Copies of this chain bind each other. A is one copy, B any other.
Amino acid sequence: MEHRLRLRVRYGETDCMGRVYHPNYLSYMECGRVEAMREWGFNYADTERQEDCFLPVIEAWVKYRAPAEFDDELEVISSVEDYSFVRLTFVYEVRRVRDDVLCAEGRVFLAAVDREGEPRRLPKDLRSFLETLDLPPERERRRRNRTGSGVVR
């Protein structure tokens, strides 16, 4: 279940090479998952404030494919790739809208913690929602991660 978010590159997100400064793709991906979660019925701000569930990034990988420039319209395509009782993995593509060029792809691993930073389970209804997604069986996901481009755990 893919989520697509459009955003425009802001002036301050570029660097003196004239392109998006590379760490900013991680922010775009974050915007993508916040909006994806909102569309799926989970307001991340409320998850933090009301359910005491924070989802810090514990690992991130980005592959930069083509530069994006100021004012380029980008599409951030977010999908859940994997999850467990305590973790969640998103995969991303960031594409330039005008020519559909892939600017970056990435994978971001999140872990559920409470306000004190102690590990906790994902909220029950988020977990229930994830179970409704059509994710490939865990074994295959593991195999794919091992052999495809990306991060080995």
Contacts and interface: CB of A to CB of B under 8 A. Distances in A.
B34 A23 contact: no
A83 interface: no
6 contacts: A23-B24, A48-B70, A59-B64, A60-B62, A149-B153, A150-B151
Those 8 A-B pairs whose CB atoms lie nearest each other, nearest first: A45-B71, A23-B23, A14-B16, A23-B26, A22-B57, A12-B21, A61-B61, A16-B18
Interface in A30-87: 30-31, 34, 43-45, 48, 54, 56-64, 67, 69-71
B11 A54 contact: no
Contacts of A61: 59-62, 151
Nearest to A69: B16
